[in-house]
Amino acid sequence: MPEPIVGLHHVTAIASNPQRNLDFYTGVLGLRLVKRTINFDDPGTYHFYFGDDRGSPGTILTFFPWPHMGKGNIGVGETSATAFSVPVESVPFWEERLRAAGVLVDREESRFDNTVLKFSDPDGMRLELVGRIAGVQANAARTSDVPTQHAISGFFGVTLCEVGFEKTATVLERMGFWRAGVEGHRYRFSAAAQALGSHIDVLVQPQLLPGRMGAGSVHHIAFRAPSDAAQLAWREELKTLDLDITPVLDRTYFHSIYFREPGGVLFEIATDPPGFTSDESIESLGETLKLPGWYESKRELIEKTLPPITLHKITK
Ligand code: ZN
């Protein structure tokens, strides 16, 4: 088998207003804007990458904010919730902080023994904070006012909304995830390593209609490959399941392959290198608009087309 997949690399979602999106993820959740670039297929649209202080794999939530995008409908064949990990002692801090920011919070006392805070971002994207007893130490964003001991460390995992779990299980199990437990209609698959983003839940909800993409929808989820060689090995391995897998695509900060798992969710496998510090220093991540080489000659026009945004930087 290829080198193990330890968990998620990033999650990519759709938003509407870019400033509101930026304000929520940096100002409320305390993530760092680690990269500000454009949608390579639609250079009049931003591509925001939020993450921990270093832009570590397993912490990256990315958005395409289209200002006039209508809301999506969550349904089967989609990622229906994205969960971050926080220390269990920090759950009351987060409950209070979210409420103070005007966010409606629903507390689930015990899901596989973890307390879960459930809420939505301003576009209706469903988010969760999972209190973990022993989590991965956070690299707290230097740009945030969230005290270091309460900071989000990265992803806990995601929930996929599906008609059934069996076909998706075949793919996840081939990818090295094991069946960790069942609670009601929720089937948990976990990677062996206690890494960020190592839990994939399949929530079986056959009564729901297929999801419709829009603001608040997750477009795809990406798993980590430690190297280009491991990614190619996974491509060969997964082809034996008759999945239709793209060739390797260069996404500047990682290399990607994509395939749709049988339950309908778009999966990606992304490489850890080269990473987000490949074109700017760790101190200044996200501060300037980064363009791939072939768009540099059009920088002036692109900067004029993009809606202006204001970054929030807090000095701790
Ligand atoms: Zn991606």
User: Has residue 135 got a pLDDT over 90?
Assistant: no
User: Has residue 42 got a pLDDT over 70?
Assistant: yes
Question: Separation of 12 CA from ligand 1 center, angstroms?
Answer: 6
Question: Separation of 36 CA from ligand 1 center, angstroms?
Answer: 15
User: Each residue of 137-165: pLDDT tens digit?
Assistant: 899 999 999 999 999 999 999 999 999 99
Question: Separation of 253 CA from ligand 1 center, angstroms?
Answer: 10
Assign 194 a pLDDT band (cuts: 50, 70, 90).
confident
Q: How many domains does the chain have?
A: 1
Residues of the chain above pLDDT 70, percent: 98
User: Each residue of 3-23: pLDDT tens digit?
Assistant: 999 999 999 999 999 999 999
Question: Separation of 207 CA from ligand 1 center, angstroms?
Answer: 29
User: Each residue of 295-308: pLDDT tens digit?
Assistant: 999 999 999 999 99
Q: What is the pLDDT of residue 136?
A: 78
Question: Separation of 249 CA from ligand 1 center, angstroms?
Answer: 10
Return d(Cα 80, Cα 222) in angstroms, integer: 15
Return d(Cα 34, Cα 254) in angstroms, integer: 14
CATH of the domain at 190: 3.10.180.10
Q: In Å, how far are 76, 91, 94, 191, 195 from 88, measured between CA atoms?
A: 30, 6, 10, 21, 17
User: Has residue 313 got a pLDDT over 80?
Assistant: no
Q: What is the pLDDT of residue 110?
A: 95
Residue 286 in any domain: the answer is: yes
Question: Separation of 93 CA from ligand 1 center, angstroms?
Answer: 31
Residue 316 in any domain: the answer is: no
Question: Separation of 187 CA from ligand 1 center, angstroms?
Answer: 24
User: Has residue 310 got a pLDDT over 90?
Assistant: yes
Residue 77 in any domain: the answer is: yes
Residue 149 in any domain: the answer is: yes
Question: Separation of 245 CA from ligand 1 center, angstroms?
Answer: 14
User: Each residue of 62-118: pLDDT tens digit?
Assistant: 999 999 999 999 999 999 999 999 999 999 999 999 999 999 999 999 999 999 999
Over residues 243-269, the mean pLDDT reads 97
Question: Separation of 217 CA from ligand 1 center, angstroms?
Answer: 14
Q: What is the pLDDT of residue 1?
A: 83
> Do the Cβ atoms of 50 and 34 come closer than 8 Å?
yes
Q: What is the pLDDT of residue 315?
A: 58
Question: Separation of 222 CA from ligand 1 center, angstroms?
Answer: 6
Return d(Cα 47, Cα 49) in angstroms, integer: 7
Residue 233 belongs to what domain range?
8-305
Residue 256 in any domain: the answer is: yes
Centroid of chain to Cα 154: 9
Residue 312 in any domain: the answer is: no
Over residues 158-178, the mean pLDDT reads 97
Q: What is the pLDDT of residue 32?
A: 97
Residue 315 in any domain: the answer is: no
170-195 as b/e: b if 16+ CB within 10 A: ebbeebbbeeeeeeeebbbbbbeeeb
Which helix (H) or strand (E) element contains residue 201? strand 199-204
User: Has residue 134 got a pLDDT over 90?
Assistant: no
Question: Separation of 11 CA from ligand 1 center, angstroms?
Answer: 7
User: Has residue 193 got a pLDDT over 90?
Assistant: no
Question: Separation of 139 CA from ligand 1 center, angstroms?
Answer: 22
Among all chains, which residue has been given the structure tokens 């996404």?
251
Residue 314 in any domain: the answer is: no
Question: Separation of 276 CA from ligand 1 center, angstroms?
Answer: 14
Q: What is the pLDDT of residue 158?
A: 98
Q: What is the pLDDT of residue 19?
A: 97
User: Has residue 316 got a pLDDT over 60?
Assistant: no
The mean pLDDT value of the chain amounts to 96
Question: Separation of 28 CA from ligand 1 center, angstroms?
Answer: 24
